[in-house]
Amino acid sequence: MKLELIIVDDSALWLSLAEKLAKSHPLVRSVLTFEDSYDAWVHIQLAKPQVVMADIEMPGMNGFSFLEMFGNRMPFISSSTKQEFEVIARELGCVDFISKPFTKSELHNSIDLVYNRIYGRKVSA
């Protein structure tokens, strides 16, 4: 089974990088990206994706808002340039937090954690 991932980030650069790195993970089936948090909010309500990766610092709805609304219904990976946001994001229920700039390995490890959370088993190497 492979994952459907939504990525929300107001930075086109980070959005593009995260999409490219996520698509290279062998357990990711599809990646859909949103620069606008409100468009993502609507899509998440309608499509109910398996996993969401959201930047914390966005105009409009920020990553904390997403966690408060959807964190108990689906796994989240939170990201930010500010490491101090990790504690709050984890308290709100994110599965993993990755600091920007992140590497392919760091994002892949986060995806592995989410996969384990959803399917209850570790990813085999």
Mean pLDDT (whole number) for 105-116: 96
State the pLDDT at residue 4: 95
For residue 39, give the 3-state DSSP assignment: helix
Mean pLDDT in the chain? 94
Please determine, for residue 118, whether its predicted confidence score (pLDDT) is greater than 70: yes
State the pLDDT at residue 125: 47
The model's confidence at residue 120, banded by pLDDT at 50, 70 and 90, is: confident
Whole-angstrom distance, CA of residue 64 vs CA of residue 45: 16
At the second CATH level, the architecture of 3-119 is: 3-Layer(aba) Sandwich (3.40)
Domain residue extents for the chain: 3-119
- pLDDT tens column, 24-65: 999 999 999 999 999 999 999 999 999 999 999 999 899 999
State the pLDDT at residue 123: 60
What is the share, in percent, of the chain residues with pLDDT greater than 90? Answer: 90
For residue 34, give the 3-state DSSP assignment: strand
Instruction: Take residue 40 and report the two structure tokens written for it.
Output: 């993502």
